[in-house]
Amino acid sequence: MSRLLINRRRFLTAAGVAASTLPLVGCDAFDGILQNRGIVRDVLAAANDLTYRVQRLLMDADRLAPEFGESEIRQGQRPNGSTDPTDPQYIALQQQDFSEYRLAIAGLVEKPLSLTLTELRNMPSRTQITRHDCVEGWSCVAKWTGVPLSKVLDEAKVKPDARYIVFHCFDRMNLGLSGSVAYYESIDLIDARHPQTILAYGLNGKPLPVANGAPLRVRVERQLGYKMAKYLSAIEVVSELSTFGRGNGGFWEDLGYDWYAGI
């Protein structure tokens, strides 16, 4: 086992070296990297795939992320990325306190759903105190409450050819001269069915604030912060990711970040 772990480190280091040749500087939008195609992109993609496969090999599919006690919540969850979406559809919902909000569950399901917040709150819930790790280098312990994604997927009845879950968000990210694109993210069905993967509507005992993704955001506790899409508008069950965005499975992934951001 220890040998395998050393090998895993080596793989991760290789991925890190490949990544460090790019000016990846955290979660602020930047421009040039969108033009970065070709060889660097391929090296990154190969390292990314390797990291995913090695981590999946070594990882117990149900391993839980550490959970903490109330006393370890030292501050509010630090808002990052989009914190106040200005998209008209979002503003309209926000103005009515999200009473008209519906989460769509679509794609490879037998029973597409459209769930209100009340319906989501009436489903089985889970509360967990976990540590959020942003790729920028800060962490925050917070208490999240929501419905396990697995419950929603069971309700919708996922079809056998499904492999990934795509999270669509209301907020658009500004890319300067390249215009703007909607934030999106994706995870595989193993993470989607993980017991700590929840669609959160509560933070530290209160309704999820706008700054942290109101009315609904996902928590994927074994991965980095950028995987945890805020401002969810829809969940799509799919068999491949190539048709979304630039095909790498997420807004930050399309700018060069790892798709599998396991921690």
Ligand X SMILES: Nc1nc2c(c(=O)[nH]1)N[C@H]1C(S)=C(S)[C@@H](COP(=O)(O)O)O[C@H]1N2
* Residue 98 binds: one of Mo ion, ligand X, none (C-beta under 5 to 8 A by kind): none
Q: Which is nearer to ligand X, 107 or 213 (CB)?
A: 213
Residue from 44, 47, 81, 98 binding ligand X (CB under 6 A): 81
Q: Give 36's Cβ-side CA count (13 Å radius).
A: 21
Residue 169: CB minimum distance to ligand X, A: 4
Burial class (CB in 10 A: 0-12, 13-18, 19+), 57: exposed
Residue 242: CB minimum distance to ligand X, A: 21
Nearest Cα to 228, choosing from 189, 209, 200, 188? Answer: 200
Residue from 90, 101, 167, 226 binding Mo ion (CB under 5 A): 226
> For 48-102, where are the E strands, in sequence order?
none
Nearest Cα to 120, choosing from 79, 144, 148, 85? Answer: 148
Using CB under 5 A as the binding rule, the residues of this chain from 97 to 156 that contact Mo ion are: 134
Q: What angle, rounded to 10 degrees, do the helices at 2-20 and 39-58 form?
A: 160
Determine, following the binding rule CB under 6 A, whether residue 77 of this chain makes contact with ligand X: yes
The footprint of Mo ion on this chain (CB under 5 A) covers a number of residues equal to 4
Residue 24: CB minimum distance to Mo ion, A: 12
The two tokens of residue 97 are: 């306190």
Using CB under 5 A as the binding rule, the residues of this chain from 22 to 61 that contact Mo ion are: 27
Determine, following the binding rule CB under 6 A, whether residue 212 of this chain makes contact with ligand X: yes
What DSSP element (H or E) covers 156?
helix 149-156
Find the farthest-apart pair of alpha carbons in the chain and give their distance in angstroms, rounded. 56
Residue from 33, 198, 228, 241 binding ligand X (CB under 6 A): 228
- What residues are paired with 114 via a beta bridge? 104
Determine, following the binding rule CB under 6 A, whether residue 48 of this chain makes contact with ligand X: no
Count other C-beta atoms under 10 Å from residue 255's C-beta: 21
* Residue 82 binds: one of ligand X, Mo ion, none (C-beta under 5 to 8 A by kind): ligand X
Interface contacts to ligand X, rule CB under 6 A: 27, 77-82, 132, 134, 169, 171, 183, 212-213, 225-226, 228-231
Interface contacts to Mo ion, rule CB under 5 A: 27, 134, 225-226
